[in-house]
Amino acid sequence: MLGPYELSGLTLAFLLTGLIVFRSRRITLSGTLPWVGLRNEIFAQFRGHLRDETLAIQTIFEGYLKVGSGISLVDSATESPQYGKRDQAFLVPSIDGEPHVVLPQQQVSWMARQPNGSLDANQASEEFLQIRHLTRYQSTVDNPFHRDILRRHSTQQLGNLTSDIVEELTHSITKQWGDDCQNWTDVCAFETLLVVVQTLSSRALVGLPLTRNERYTKCQLSFTVSAATQGFLIRKIPFGFLRPVLGPLLGLPTKYWEWRCARFLVPLIWTRLEINLRGKSSNVGLPSDLVQWVLNAVMTRPSLAPLDMRHIASRIMHINFVRGNLECYR
């Protein structure tokens, strides 16, 4: 039986193999778009990806200011791009090992007009996050109706959500940083703001009082960190046919935290379900959050998804994970 040192050695060898294979792959975009952030050195792309950890903002700023002929992705027959620092698409290295395309503002409208067959945000999100290997419930990925529900209802309830978010932001910042305006206090900005982002996201998804449950917040943060880490490792599996085999194994820690978080969410969902079953008169005063929206959708349209508490909890957790990542990148 392999000991911890042997397992660590095998894991390191596996990751190095993945990096070498990644380095040997041809990236088709690199032949048509200019790179920014690469140096004249051995393994320039590989080392550029590693430097992204500390120089990402500087690299993007450099690409923004760079003036040249540039390459536009728009169709010259229908568009009339004017090249310059505000109309130049370019590639930048990324710590995740894949180059990122940075589009100028003038081309955003063109990108929005593209059909899903050309630019599919959901497919890109699934590939980047690897949620398929991080959950015990494949229906979360195969039937992601909760995304449309969140988008539709969050727009309709924007006024109510805004006041709730402002209230939660004030409460969370005060709790993390205090309200002493006279004396200086040392805080870890990253760790405290991570909690703030998590609670703000939870307020729109699960409402009070669960949002302010510290044990739930810690579980959700552990789930988020685990999902981000394991998703990164799964993306780096060097051969595609190994992903369905190794992906579920690498995703075990995330599935554990999914189970831990469900222990808080299932009682909440069950309570809401009992209130719904009592009739409309009992629904007065229910929070307007994702838990309620998904529950209402499943109850009114049984063909949409099974009325399973843990399945609904899985959807809530993964939406929370995605929203938290987006807020952290902003």
pLDDT of residue 73: 43
Neighbours of 191 (CB within 10 A): 11
Kindly state the tokens that stand for 235.
């993306």
Residue 203's contacts (CB-CB under 8 Å, 6 or more residues apart) are: 164, 165, 168, 211, 289
- Residue 99, pLDDT score: 75
DSSP 37: S
Give residues with Cβ within 8 angstroms of 15, minimum separation 6. 233, 236
Spans in the chain with pLDDT lower than 50:
2, 5, 7, 20, 23-28, 30, 67-84, 326-330
Residue-wise pLDDT tens digits, 209-266: 999 999 999 999 999 989 988 888 888 786 667 888 888 899 999 999 999 999 999 9
Q: Phi and psi dihedrals of 287, rounded to 5? A: -60, 150
Q: Distance between CA atoms of 74 and 72, rounded to whole angstroms? A: 6
Report how many helices (DSSP H) and strands (DSSP E) the chain contains, helices first.
13, 2
pTM of the model: 0.72
Burial of 327 (0-12, 13-18, 19+ CB in 10 A): middle
Would you say 264 and 219 are in contact if contact means Cβ atoms under 8 Å apart?
A: yes
pLDDT of residue 28: 47
At 123 the pLDDT is 73
Q: For residues 282 and 28, what is the distance between their CA atoms, to the nearest angstrom?
A: 58
